[in-house]
Structures are given as structure tokens and as C-alpha cells.
Amino acid sequence: MLNYQRYKKFPIFHYPERSWMDKEITKAPVWCSVDLRDGNQALVEPMSVEEKIEFFNMLVKLGFKEIEVGFPAASQIEYDFLRNLIERRLIPDDVTVQVLVQCRESLLERTFQCLRGLGRAIVHIYNSTSVLQRDVVFGKSREEITDIALTGTELVKRYAKDFDGEIRLEYSPESFTGTEMDYARDICNAVIEAWDAGEGRKIIINLPSTVELHTPNVYADQIEYMSRNLSRRKHVILSVHPHNDRGEGVAATELALLAGADRVEGTLFGNGERTGNVDILTIAYNMFSHGIDPRLELGNVREIQEVYERCTKMNVPPRHPYAGKLVFTAFSGSHQDAINKGVQMMTERRSPYWEVPYLPIDPADIGREYEPIVRINSQSGKGGVAFVLGSQFGYKLPKAMQREFADYIQRLSEQQGEVSPEQIFDVFRAVYIEAKEPIHFKNVRITDTDNGDDTYTSLVNVSYLNHGVMKSFSGAGNGPIDAVQAGLDQELGIEVKVLDYSEHALTSGSGAKAVSYIHLLDEKSGRTSYGVGISSNITRSSIRAFFSAVNRMFYQEETEKAGRQRVEESKGAGSASSLYSAL
């Protein structure tokens, strides 16, 4: 049994005055990427200068206006990276770089040396304020910890006086979530006063969830309390920097925005120490899914993922929100059926809004259009199979036919596992379209006779092969299909009835083809069967569908064997031989 008694909660901050739970997110915050500092320091193999430059360029392309580029006083590679950005003029005029530095003079001096040549920068100082760190790491009192923060603030002010550009101070009480709120308030207010925040001299107060200690609602209470109790609030940019130790970073950030946060520091795909930083992409796409402009250019998540994985040597998990390989894929039969119906209904209603069950956004809107939404395995159902045939191959199967065809794919998936769209179509061709034996329709002549009462009688003469022997028959009816039915019934000694018929265009333009679906009933046995026909001539496609259904109803074994052979021949000898073992 887990020894849960080794652990205890950090005291919960009680804040009954909270009002954040009645609010909604209506706009994007100021985004600050910390991929190149916080994210980079957590990599097994940190990025090289050139990899960091490529990553920086991507962040700029995505629309980030604030980017933390590193800790230039900590290592030569960090220093060289920022100097490369400055000297190669890679920082656009509307982008502000941010540097992290501890509250020590030697480090601040080197940091400002690295910043020379910039017109604007954010200098981010920090020191840990939590009960635990004050006790076991620093062994210092509240007052001594506050002195560290104020010393750092005064040093930044002094170096900023001799700096040619504009310096904005950012202060973080590191391990904020483990700090008593009255002390977090006091140390932040002391820094605000020491910086003399005012008009044209704003300060960023960054409140990090350095280690997640509570549920997201507690973090929101802490943020709202601080927002209400910071001095010179209108001159303060309240920032949050959540981590993900409890797997709640996104939720904590969204609640923090409700509670008054103006700015979010995070990383792409949540890279960072331990379980990572908050994932900016997920928050931004969440806003997008609610019709809010995320103020980032995120229309191609695949491209973002490619650069991220190459530069960081990290992989995006297949179930990662929005970017994961499988997040827009349904295997469940009921899910597939709902998606299929949702897409059809949205098309029929011509709705300007995306409303499809199980898909909060259209995958195509973020560059995922080339990936299958529905993938077929043994858990799938008729709706999923129908969706694949419709979305990828243009066949809109009648509802009753979906179940009949899905049974073939179910048997195949139970043998081999996942069934690809190409395999599904190959089976569909073999079972229905190529069901041309042993009675093979060849040609038809149709004559319509006016009955004089605004009705017509169709007379047909049909040529066909019966087990390879050319034959013909004639028939009459109130239309070509009715006439073919009458003639074939007499020719073969059968009694069939048309239960349903539908058709639609497969392609557009001068070479357009039509597909016909026909549902027949054998009135002697009560059995039913579907047939499918394709032709550029709608009458020929309907007659081919009729012959397909008759072959499948009365000559099933011969028909399926011939269908498999036709598909195999078209794909290359033997290439599809194992595909139909379950049929």
C-alpha cells in the first residue's frame, strides 16, 4: 500500500472574496515564450546557438512579442546566442527580448554588457520566497529575503541609467505558490515601490507556480488576491508562469487569467523542468476553439512541431492536445458515427460554425487536413467506415448499406488490426463495384413509348454475358430499371423487388461519373442485397448496380472471387491476395 502518510498539504490559502469564478476569458493575454531559457535548460541535450536561432525565428514567425532568450551571465553559449541575435539584427523592432539574472552585481553587470546595442529589453530578476526554501536552502528570514530582491532592483535601476535603450523590470518571487500570501504581497510591493513604477515605467510582477502544490482554483485565489493587493496596480503587468507538476498547468493558467493575470509565460508543447511548463499552444488553441483570437499565428501545428522536435530532440506525444498524432482520430464506432452525421448535417445546413461531435475544432484549421479523422479497427462501426468512404473516396453509402458493408471490414480488422482507407476501398470495389460475374452487363438499348396520358413505357434490350456466354433479353416497364428487372426476372427465373435506389455524382466536370446504389429483395427467400454501379451515364450506372446486386444475391461465392481477382489484377499480381481472407 502506498505510504501516503509521508506527505502533507501545504496550507490552503482561503480567499472567500474571490470573484474569478463568474468571469470568462474574452481576449488573449500577453504571451511570453520561455522556450529558449526555461525550456532549453530542461533538455537532455541543450540547443546549440544555431538551433536556438532557428527556434527564435520560429517564435517570431508565430507572433510572440516577448521572448525570454536565456541567462546570458550563466554561460558563454547563452551570452553568445544573445550577441548573435543583436549583431545579426535578428530581433524585429516589435519584439522585446527578456533575460533572466539573479540579484547579484557581477551577474547583472555581465547581463547588461550582453544587452548593449538593443533598444529595448526586459530584465527578469528573481529570488525564492517560499517557506520551505527560506528554511532549508537559504536559512534566511523574510526580511533577509526581501533585502535580496530590493538589492537586485536597485542594481537594475543603476545599470539601466547607463543603458542606451529602455529597460523594463520583471520580478518573480520564485516558488510563489509555497509562499504565504501576506509575504508575497509585501515583497512584491516593496519591489514595485523601489522600482518606482508609474506612467511610462511599468513593472512586470511574475507569480510562478514553480511547483504545483494545489488544485487550480487555489492558484486562481492567490492570483486574484495579489491582483487586488499590489500597489500601483495600473502600472503593474501581472504575469503568471505555471508549471505542470500535478498535470494541471493549463487549467491553472486559464483560471489565473480569470483571476486578473495579464500575461502568461510558457513554452511550446509544455517543455520544461520535471513535468514541464504550461503549454502555450494548448491555451491558445483553447481560446481559438471558443472564437477568441489567440493573437498568435498557429495555422500550421505540423510545421511548429517539426521545428520543435528537430531543435529540442523531444517528441510530441500522440495524445498531446491539438498536435498529437491521434487527437483528431476516432476508433470507437459510436464516435465515428457521430462524426459522420455531424459533418453531413453541417454540410446540409451550410452552417458558418463548426459543430461536429467529438471534434472541438476543424483539424484543417490548424494544418491537420491530410490526416485521417477516422481510423478503422475492430472497435469501429458502420459510421466510421462510411465516413472514410465518403470523405476520402466520395462514396455516400445509403444508411442501410453502411451496416452491410461494415461487416466485411469488421471481419478483416479482427484478423489484421487496423484497416487502412485504401484497404477499405479495395474491399468495397471487390464486393460491390467489381461484382460483375457470372452475369456481366455489357450494353443496353432503350426505347421510350408515349402512352398518351403523360406516362411512358421503357423498352430495353440488354446484352450480357452469362458465365462467359453472350446472351440478351428484353423487358418493359415504367422506367429503365423497372424494365431491366422485368426482363432479368424472366431470363433467370427469379423474382426480385427494388427496395431502395439512390445515386450521386462522384466527380465534377466534363468527365463526371455517377454512382448508383440499388437495394434488392429476393421475394422467394426474403434475402436482400445491395449493388453498386459506376458510369458517366446515369442509366448505365443504375443497370450496373442492378446486375451487381443480382450477382451478390444469387452467385455470392463466384461474385466475390471474381471481384477479388479484378482488384488484384489492377493493383499488381498477388499484391492484394491476403486482403480478402476475411471476406
Note whether 359 and 487 are same-domain residues: no
CA-only gyration radius of the chain, Å: 34
pLDDT of residue 574: 43
Note whether 340 and 305 are same-domain residues: no
For 65-105, the pLDDT digits (tens) are: 999 999 999 999 999 999 999 999 999 999 999 999 999 99
Note whether 472 and 509 are same-domain residues: yes
Closest Cα to residue 148, out of 169, 133, 170, 126?
Answer: 126
Closest Cα to residue 177, out of 115, 142, 132?
Answer: 132
Q: How many angstroms separate the CA atoms of 237 and 407, rounded?
A: 60
For 231-285, the pLDDT digits (tens) are: 999 999 999 999 999 999 999 999 999 999 999 999 999 999 999 999 999 999 9
Domain count across the chain: 3
Rounded mean pLDDT of 335-342? 82
**What rounded mean pLDDT belongs to the chain?**
92
DSSP string, 353-386: S--BTTBSS-GGGGT-TTS-SB-BSTT--HHHHH
Q: Quote the percentage of the chain above a pLDDT of 70.
A: 94
Q: Is residue 518 part of a domain?
A: yes
Note whether 151 and 73 are same-domain residues: yes
Name all contacts of 196-202 with Cβ < 8 Å and 24+ positions apart: 197/232, 197/235, 197/236, 198/232, 198/235, 199/235, 201/235, 202/168, 202/235, 202/236, 202/237
For 372-402, the pLDDT digits (tens) are: 666 665 566 667 788 888 888 999 999 889 9
Q: How many angstroms separate the CA atoms of 448 and 523, rounded?
A: 28
Q: How many angstroms separate the CA atoms of 46 and 69, rounded?
A: 13
pLDDT of residue 573: 44
Note whether 377 and 497 are same-domain residues: no
Closest Cα to residue 13, out of 241, 170, 229, 283?
Answer: 229
Least confident span in 261-275, 365-379, 402-416, 565-579: 565-579
Note whether 424 and 443 are same-domain residues: no
Asked if 108 and 167 count as a contact pair (C-beta separation under 8 A), the reply is: no
Q: What is the model's pTM?
A: 0.76
Note whether 57 and 191 are same-domain residues: yes
pLDDT of residue 34: 98
Asked if 101 and 111 count as a contact pair (C-beta separation under 8 A), the reply is: yes
Q: Which band of pLDDT confidence, cut at 50, 70 and 90, is reported for residue 581? A: low
Q: Which of 277, 312, 347 is the last residue of a domain?
A: 312
For 499-513, the pLDDT digits (tens) are: 999 999 987 555 679
Closest Cα to residue 191, out of 212, 176, 210?
Answer: 176
Q: Is residue 22 part of a domain?
A: no
Q: Is residue 14 part of a domain?
A: no
Range of the domain at 106: 29-312
Note whether 443 and 410 are same-domain residues: no
Q: Which band of pLDDT confidence, cut at 50, 70 and 90, is reported for residue 32? A: very high
Note whether 289 and 352 are same-domain residues: no
Q: Which band of pLDDT confidence, cut at 50, 70 and 90, is reported for residue 567? A: confident
Note whether 292 and 419 are same-domain residues: no
Q: Which of 363, 398, 428 is the last residue of a domain?
A: 428
Cell numbers linked to 23: 468571469
Tell me the CATH number at 160: 3.20.20.70
Asked if 187 and 205 count as a contact pair (C-beta separation under 8 A), the reply is: no
Note whether 465 and 509 are same-domain residues: yes
pLDDT of residue 337: 80
Residue 369 has pLDDT above 80, yes or no: no
Q: How many angstroms separate the CA atoms of 583 and 579, rounded?
A: 9
Closest Cα to residue 210, out of 274, 255, 271, 258?
Answer: 274
**Please, what is the end-to-end C-alpha distance for the chain in angstroms?**
50
DSSP string, 121-142: EEEEEEEE--HHHIIIII---H
Asked if 216 and 251 count as a contact pair (C-beta separation under 8 A), the reply is: yes
Q: Is residue 8 part of a domain?
A: no
Closest Cα to residue 443, out of 354, 537, 319, 571?
Answer: 537
Kind of pairing, strands 496-505 and 514-522? antiparallel
pLDDT of residue 577: 44
Q: Is residue 572 part of a domain?
A: no
Closest Cα to residue 181, out of 259, 123, 88?
Answer: 259
Note whether 361 and 490 are same-domain residues: no
pLDDT of residue 572: 56
Q: Which residues of 292-315 are buried (b: 16+ CB within 10 A; e: fewer)?
A: eebbbebeebeebbebbeebbebe
Kind of pairing, strands 514-522 and 528-535? antiparallel
